[in-house]
Amino acid sequence: MGKTRRNRGMRGGKRGKSHKKNTRKRGGGILGSIVGLRNIKYINILEKRLVNKCNDYDWVQEQRVGSMRMKRSRKDYEK
């Protein structure tokens, strides 16, 4: 006769690695959304400065399209 298979499930009362609890973070919560809003506001300020002081409207629009954001008209950047 061949070898018999032994049950190796709960040896000594310890669990195996397959029973680990999943503790992955799923969302940023309210703090993440506050930080996101602050970053958007800061980006808008930098874009305004680039368009008004450096006269670099075309480059700003290329960057907006590259990061999948809508183009803005030049009058949106006025003070």
* Eight-class DSSP state of 77: G
Give the residue ranges of the chain where pLDDT is below 70. 1-20, 28
Residues 6+ apart with CB under 8 A from 74: 51, 57
Say what the pLDDT of residue 29 is: 82
State pLDDT tens for residues 59-73: 999 999 999 999 999
> pTM value?
0.59
CA distance 8 to 47: 63
Contact 58, 49 (CB under 8 A): no
